[in-house]
Amino acid sequence: MQGRHDGRRVLVTGAGSGIGRGIVLRMLAEGARVVAGDIDEQGLKDTAAAADHADRLLTVPVDIADQTSARTACATAADHLGGLDVLVNAAGIMRAAHTHEMSLEVWNQVIGVNLTGTFLMCRAALPTLLRADHPVIVNFSSTAAFGSNPYMAAYSASKGGINAFTHSLALEYVKQGLRAVNIVPGGISTGITSNLALPADADWGLMARLTGWIDGGMLGDPADVAGVVAMVASEDGRYITGSEIRVDGGALM
């Protein structure tokens, strides 16, 4: 396991907490040099404090929904690392509401961060990635794009869009050596899930498929996802592109 990413140059968004932080720590443990980006600057400080290999870590503030901020983060990463081998788009938000009560502002915010933000980061990073050997983009979908998640229409739509976007990337750049893969988490114990506010009259009976069957239906851990990302972004994943990998404890079985 150790050393799969020795010397690899990695940019991770959403790195201030949850899955993104778990990915940063795992990639550092496997030898990578990492630039960690997030809109939450205190979260980035906490990630750096948790890192055992902080000498190979740079943190940068980034608002992925803003194209100038996305471009600046990618340019900073490329300059600091001397190029870029892996982009991991782990940043995202989740908002819940009855669809008939969801404001256009909330809809646009979720689409703007999750889907447009993923596009903006990919667009900014691609010219640098395509100069690398065996470059990889890891995007984050969700079981919400495949199963039925009530009260999360905007989130589900954004993640479905990421699925299609990633498939398009994978085919468009396959002859240039780029791989693009979707990671599809189920219920993972993060700030997003623990702080999600459902409508007061939400029917919890409709939420049964949000967790899997492993460990009696407990939420997964960010480390469960980080290990899969480390694999798919390494040469162990060399024959995986344009596809999804579910990490959901069997929720969609």
155 among known catalytic residues? yes
What are the residues facing 244 on neighbouring strands? 182
pLDDT at 3: 84
What are the residues facing 188 on neighbouring strands? 220
The pLDDT-based confidence of 198 (bands split at 50, 70, 90) is: confident
Distance in angstroms (rounded) separating the CA atoms of residues 212 and 252: 8
**pTM, rounded to two decimals:** 0.94
pLDDT at 209: 64
204: left (phi over 0), alpha (psi -120 to 50) or beta: alpha
Q: Enumerate the domain spans of the chain.
A: 9-247
Top-level class of domain 9-247: alpha beta
Q: What is the pLDDT of residues 29-41, one digit of tens each?
A: 999 999 999 999 9
Which residue in the block uniquely carries the two structure tokens 């960010």?
222
Distance in angstroms (rounded) separating the CA atoms of residues 138 and 153: 23
CA 78 to chain centre: 19
Distance in angstroms (rounded) separating the CA atoms of residues 163 and 91: 15
HSE of 155, CA atoms in CB hemisphere, 13 A? 21
Distance in angstroms (rounded) separating the CA atoms of residues 158 and 240: 23
Distance in angstroms (rounded) separating the CA atoms of residues 142 and 186: 6
187: left (phi over 0), alpha (psi -120 to 50) or beta: beta
The pLDDT-based confidence of 215 (bands split at 50, 70, 90) is: confident
Taking each helix axis as running N to C, give the angle between helix 222-232 and helix 18-29, from 0 to 180 degrees, rounded to the nearest 10. Answer: 50
Are 252 and 146 within 8 A, CB to CB?
Answer: yes
Average pLDDT, the chain: 93
Q: Enumerate the H helices of the chain as residue ranges.
A: 18-29, 41-50, 67-81, 104-110, 117-129, 153-172, 191-194, 222-232
Question: Is pLDDT above 60 for 2?
Answer: no
DSSP string, 215-241: GGGPPB-HHHHHHHHHHHTSGGGTT--
Distance in angstroms (rounded) separating the CA atoms of residues 35 and 23: 11
In the chain, what is the straight-line distance between the N-terminal and C-terminal CA atoms, in Å?
Answer: 28
Average pLDDT over residues 136-159: 93
Q: Which of 151, 155, 173, 239 is catalytic?
A: 155
